[in-house]
Structure 1
């Protein structure tokens, strides 16, 4: 076997898992008033069927409404939720996978607009960061000892319900902004009683919960913890020494496994949430190895319980190496399994090239935490859909389909139609496929987008989809094909400014700079959206002096919040100049005239002016073909200029309708 350790059995307390691949708890935000529904069952079952050995269900609230994070959060604080949970566990077990239910209380991060109540926490200390996740920064009510003990009991009762529902165990959520970590963190827990004042007392909440769960659920039920073992930054509330101590204490208390994470106290974007497009693969393996070593130093022996680790670890060789080097015993592949539910099976079948990659865009996180919507994915159009309309069925009638343009929407449409039995050909004017994916991979720290292009080529070869590169098409050549269906996916049209000097030779589109066109040393970018800011980062890393002019009051406003934080911080660090609420009124040969936010006219010297003021739909081809071919559709950026997730969803939806 190519990856013997990855596909070997492992033990988590009383539970035997068929392999070392874990789907970690990742909220998809699709419950119906706290209940499990068909969409949730389908989501987790698909990943169990795809080969994951252990499936950990997203966080479920032990005390609603007070402990809710979002309005679509699962709930397990009453027996009425057991029936749905039971159906979920049974469906996962049908595919020889084990399952745990993650349980938690949001604590001080709970929003009054969701719960209708003041948030509560170990101390009256408000959240230090909120905008990334739309969390509450309201000062919480400090819990009394009696109230804390009641919440401990709610955790234990939730675990008992999970056992009654057929789950193999539970996971205590103790990272990020949830109550578990709030007790462990010296910044959020300033108590001086039995629950705070030292690391020995800050762990009391967890030890009590573990003891109470074990008393109710017995030894044949796994208890695991997802644990922040280190916080980054000067004001960190959990040191590595403290994290190691917490891990040791939980082991000694009888916890069966630990999933280790890293967080941050004041940074809006924390490491566990920001495995972004530039993150290193397996970024947490050294952390888990350090925790194992730390426990060994305390006890003089190897850790008694397995450690689950990962971080952009949806790559079999990286996971195998970590396991062989004993950095962990199980590997979580969270976003990798969101993008490709069949990842483990494809690895076993020696078809890794066909694994649809996670590109680290964090759209999955942004949708639920920032916008309180179901998760969606830039690679997987099915993620986050509340019904079964994406279940593929063979087409009733085989059709010849011509797709004009070879971008991400086109390739997804071609993939689905080929699977459904249609005869598909893609016509692309350039000598490569991928459309704007190639440009999207050009800015710094976007290397994790490149595998998308490799996947496109592999899936096209696997499905024998015909591709004709260097093939610009017009109305006559398209009509001559006599295709049953024509899909237009020719990309967007740039918005054009009507400014004096707009036609000067040193004025051109920002995407041309990303494609390699040379700029001068001093660059002004008109438009501070996503493309404008990413182009700025691309240029400042080359040592260019960049000024970004934006008419609105914020920059990269449509970008995923976690990635936006990283990008803007990086631009600031590298010395980019931001001018918000500023309008460009004139372009000169070596300068631009602007009206700034105070209403003052300013002249900014520059060598090159780049335009990044947005794009609009391109319906010309579609309009000219309408009524001349049996079926015609317009998809992708030529229909709605937007992100990858929108394009791939449009391609998928059109393909299942034909």
Structure 2
């Protein structure tokens, strides 16, 4: 045995990396070896769907392969037209497609990384009129009712899966992943939720498995033994009439016998009313379900879902929860995640905060995916940070997200940057977001920028409210104004009373709220504030004022609140349980002037979670009203019928929008030597739009 290896639990562990020995232990599959235990999971980016984008897709994959990941799984590729996610979706159905896919495999293989093609049949989740499923039951997330697949249709689809796998091998892929989770076609056959057939493909578990096992066997017969087959299995369906853990284990054992090399983790269906990937889900919150399956099979099992930092991944491998760790969005946030973990630079990992705003939300809006904290993601060939030929002296005013993005990109490229910030810490509006219960991950972004500023030796001047005169006297070549926003004030009678506070005063710990609170404004901030005020695990004033990282909600408490089985060997259908009734910390009214439901404009993939959360917390929602005046007794409102009502509250929290802070921008008459640029909230006040702020900062940083 070599000096740098030891044997534990029949596994040879690489101890060269003292911090993460299990992560950097190779995995021998017999015919091939993965260099470490980290896999980049499948994410649809939108680039897969058009052949002319495959050059961009190749660069996107190559950047992650170069970053040290052992294996990459592509976004889903349909085996036939019925399986498209969207009309004319990504294909590998004919020999001509091989040319495009070889661009991907060639780019990835240059960096000692495996590339796996995910074959995904959308079933009733497809957004086109050709959708099919186990039974003709419409999905709640697609407008099209599926046609029930005939036996001949099932057999021809099995052949289509095998044909795509054959072309994948011709294209140079190292294997394929069969998508059998998240409520897509094969999951629809496996679960009684969508399978109400009475023939050989419905009823008993043996019958429900027949189609997926037929796919596995056909692919194995086609590609031979020296080709990786992974199957993404739903470890917990989280829908009514879903499978029990005993059934999941039986499926896993059958997949192993059918020739699968690796079982991957899927959690929940897309239509489930339990959140699975938003930031409020605790880290590794579903990992014990994967561990339960691993106990019953001999092939490697891959854990996934809400894993974003090396210490979590290492722990899951060390305690034998799984043999591999799959992460998807964390590699949008930081393509160099693995290399940073290996070289002792964990503090410089740009952590995925699971916001979904630029990745999943974009895909559901039929846009190209990217990343809020890393706007280069999926734009590697367009947003390029080239070294400068001649360094400039540049001032960035404001250390919020826009200013941090601009200053770090500029410094990486070689410019001399001075960053001015009027407050005593960086982060801007993220300092409010990070104290919201369920948004503790936002601390990680501030940590990342703090460490990056130090690494780049950027001159950071905190507690420094810079003036126009000072900026001009220091002879900067360029000045970037990223001074952000301030909360908009109310103009009604009584708005200046002491119990009327802004969201900024509340979330900074400057002022406290009473037991009965009216929240004015039902945008994203109003929802965050309502959750903050009613949650029993929210930050206290001491934690906020001392800038301590809040303790996230425990996995046990989170599952109880959302109705998820506590035991890994759950016997309930779909792993669902009766949610625990929440006793809110305060009585809160959330109000808006507009008609319609509150939170209608929240983000597509996370908005429903916030709406459900405030409902669970008994927040009283009021719409279509006017605010008349505020008195010592509370706030007077007038409804659509013209009737006035007094809400007796102790505190009024104002979340009625923001105003840009851009007073440092020069007037037309000013005779200045520097070029001035306006970005982020200072340019356009929005609903704390960090996605736009970081992108604009990166774009100006790349341009100058």
TM-score range, shorter chain: over 0.9
The offset of 1:600, in angstroms, is: 4.2
SS of the aligned residue for 2:198 comes to coil
Match of 2:696 in 1: 650
Deviations 1:420-445 (A, max 9, x none): 11100111111111111111111111
Give the aligned partner of residue 366 of structure 2. 372
2-side partners of 1:412 and 1:236: how far apart? 47
Q: Could you tell me which of 137, 146, 151 is aligned with 1:140?
A: 146
* Kept in 1: contact 2:275–2:281 (CA 8 A): no
2:322 corresponds to 1:339: no
Partners of 1:46 and 1:341 within 8 A in 2: yes
TM-align CA RMSD: 1.9
User: Which of 20, 26, 35 is 2:43 aligned to?
Assistant: 26
Q: 1:600 to 1:269 in 2, by over 3 A?
A: farther
When normalised by structure 1's length, the TM-score is: 0.92
The answer for the alignment partner of 2:539 in structure 1 is none
C-alpha displacement of 1:359 = 1.1
Q: Which runs of 5+ in 1 are unaligned?
A: 131-135, 296-302
1:569-648 aligned within 5 A = 569-597=612-640, 600-624=643-667, 628-640=672-684, 641=686, 642-648=688-694
Is 1:126–1:138's contact at 8 Å kept on the other side of the alignment?
Answer: yes
In the TM superposition, residue 4 of structure 1 has moved relative to its aligned partner by 2.1
Mapped partners of 1:153, 1:428: distance in 2: 62
Q: Distance in 2 between matches of 1:231 and 1:32?
A: 28
Report the TM-score when normalising by structure 2: 0.87
* 2:300 counterpart of 1:291: no
Give the equivalent residue in structure 2 for 1:398: 391
Q: Distance in 1 between matches of 2:116 and 2:535?
A: 45
Provide the secondary structure at the position in 1 that maps to 2:396: strand
Q: Distance in 2 between matches of 1:31 and 1:289?
A: 32
1:60 partner SS: coil
- Which residue does 2:227 correspond to in 1? 221
Q: Secondary structure at the match of 1:212?
A: helix
Give the match's secondary structure for 2:76: strand
State the 1:367 CA deviation: 2.5
**Deviation at residue 483 of structure 1 after TM alignment:** 0.7
Matched residues in 1 for 2:628 and 2:51: separation?
53
Q: Deviations along 1:496-545, whole A, 9 cap, x unmatched?
A: 44323222222221221111211222111110001111111111126221
Counterpart mapping for 1:417-456 below 5 A: 417-456=410-449
User: Is the contact made by 1:540 and 1:546 (CA closer than 8 Å) also made in structure 2?
Assistant: yes
Query: Partners in 1 of 2:52 and 2:211 — Cα distance?
Result: 27
* Structure 2 residues not aligned, in runs of 5+: 1-16, 537-584
Instruction: Please say if 1:209 is aligned against 2:215.
Output: yes
1:167-210 deviations in Å (ceiling 9; x for gaps): 01100011113111111111101111111111111111111111
2:305 aligned with 1:311: yes
Residues 309 and 597 of structure 1, relative CA distance in 2, 3 Å threshold: farther
1:123 aligns with 2:135: yes
Question: CA–CA distance in 2 between the matches of 1:540 and 1:376?
Answer: 33
Which is worse superposed, 247-256 or 206-215?
206-215
The alignment of Structure 1 onto Structure 2 pairs a total of residues equal to: 634
Which digits, 9 at most, give the CA deviation of each residue in 1:282-311, with x for residues without a partner? 233311110122x2xxxxxxx331001132
Q: Which secondary structure state, in structure 2, belongs to the residue aligned with residue 232 of structure 1?
A: coil
* Residue 277 of structure 1: aligned partner: 279
Within 2, Cα distance between the matches of 1:500 and 1:72?
57
Q: Secondary structure at the match of 2:96?
A: helix
Aligned 8 A contact 1:507 1:609 in 2: yes
**CA offset digits 1:193-242 (Å, max 9, x no partner):** 11111111111111111111122211111111111022225x24121111
The secondary structure found in structure 2 opposite 1:621 is coil
The farther-off stretch of 562-571 and 606-615 is: 562-571
Equivalent position SS for 1:59 = coil
Residue 405 of structure 1 and its aligned partner are, at CA, apart by: 0.9
